[in-house]
């Protein structure tokens, strides 16, 4: 299997000390720490500097695939799924969700190419791409035959424990931290802005096209080398590899305070297996809500 290879740009991560209980001889260190902490609070809106994947998930699950979820697949596909579920490539900053970099945290603020709202590798400052395999549950890309501004994809991961772990990451990386609720624990939801925003202007939405056919072993190469798949041919129940990044956004709440919410944003979607028939909900209707094509 050939894998993507991307170059990394090294960046020096800012060190932060503590000014509490400092002695008079440590005044210089205290001054540096106070300045660094002030900047962090200003740009990260109160996020804890020490908040990392490890601090939220100290003991990541080892159950990356539930046997009950893959009974229908042959051994060749199973081997492919195991590789994807355990894949890591530190040089390309790609990590399977179950093998996420434990030191990963929010990136540093920069006036240009700001990374403070994206999960990054603190050693390099580069954003992390997360891979997760699952079945499509719901899709929302179009409304009245036109691309929607914000697209949404919901998948059912192959491991229920991994889905719960993902929900915990999103909840605790939010500020203030959110409480977990039973609703949405077994799914992973990712969004994608289909229009380009710049300043006060918003361009017309263009249908998401980073969709590929990765059913053959070795087809997950660089994006330019991957076989293309039509988004409109995807359906509920299809097995896909979702490539995404973890981001956060601020929203004013009823208490008139700004809260930071964490979410996944789609980068690419690769088909791994075609479902024979669309999965149906309790009403007997397909779950691809809003995919008006």
Q: What is the pLDDT along the chain (293 residues), one digit of tens a residue?
A: 555 554 333 333 333 333 334 344 444 333 433 443 443 444 444 444 579 999 999 999 999 999 999 999 999 999 999 999 999 999 999 999 999 999 999 999 989 889 999 999 999 999 999 999 999 999 999 998 899 999 999 999 999 999 999 999 999 999 999 999 888 899 999 999 998 766 566 688 999 999 999 998 888 888 999 999 999 999 999 999 999 999 999 888 778 888 999 999 999 999 999 998 765 544 333 343 433 32
Is the CB of residue 205 less than 8 Å from the CB of residue 147?
yes
pLDDT in tens, 267-290: 999 999 999 876 554 433 334 343
Is the CB of residue 124 less than 8 Å from the CB of residue 163?
no
Structure token digits, residue 247: 């981001």
Structure token digits, residue 41: 């609070």
Cα 117 from Cα 109, distance rounded (Å): 8
Structure token digits, residue 273: 């297996």
* Cβ neighbours, 10 Å, residue 273: 18
Cα 103 from Cα 230, distance rounded (Å): 36
Q: What is the pTM of this model?
A: 0.78
């Amino acid at each position: 299997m050939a894998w993507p290879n991307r170059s990394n740009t090294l960046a020096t991560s800012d060190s932060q000390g503590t000014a509490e209980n400092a002695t008079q001889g440590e005044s210089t260190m205290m001054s540096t720490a106070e300045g660094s902490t002030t900047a962090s609070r200003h740009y990260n809106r109160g996020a804890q500097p020490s908040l990392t994947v490890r601090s939220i998930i100290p003991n990541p699950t080892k159950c990356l695939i539930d046997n009950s979820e893959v009974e229908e697949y042959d051994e060749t596909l199973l081997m492919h799924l195991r590789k994807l579920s355990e894949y890591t490539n530190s040089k390309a900053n790609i990590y399977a969700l179950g093998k996420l970099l434990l030191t990963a945290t929010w990136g540093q603020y920069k006036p240009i190419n700001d990374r403070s709202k994206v999960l990054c590798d603190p050693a390099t400052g580069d954003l992390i791409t997360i891979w997760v395999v699952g079945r499509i549950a719901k899709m929302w890309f179009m409304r009245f035959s036109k691309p929607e501004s914000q697209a949404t994809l919901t998948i059912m991961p192959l491991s229920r424990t991994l889905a719960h772990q993902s929900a915990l990451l999103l909840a605790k990386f939010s500020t203030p931290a959110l409480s977990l609720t039973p609703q949405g624990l077994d799914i992973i939801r990712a969004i994608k802005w289909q229009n380009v925003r710049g300043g006060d202007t918003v361009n017309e939405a263009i249908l998401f096209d980073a969709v590929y056919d990765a059913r053959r072993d070795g087809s997950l190469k660089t994006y330019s080398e991957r076989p293309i798949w039509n988004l409109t041919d995807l359906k509920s129940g299809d097995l896909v590899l979702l490539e995404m990044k973890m981001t956060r956004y601020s929203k004013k709440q009823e208490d008139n305070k700004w809260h930071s919410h964490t979410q996944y944003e789609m980068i690419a979607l690769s088909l791994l297996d075609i479902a024979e028939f669309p999965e149906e909900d309790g009403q007997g209707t397909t779950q691809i809500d809003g995919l008006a094509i």
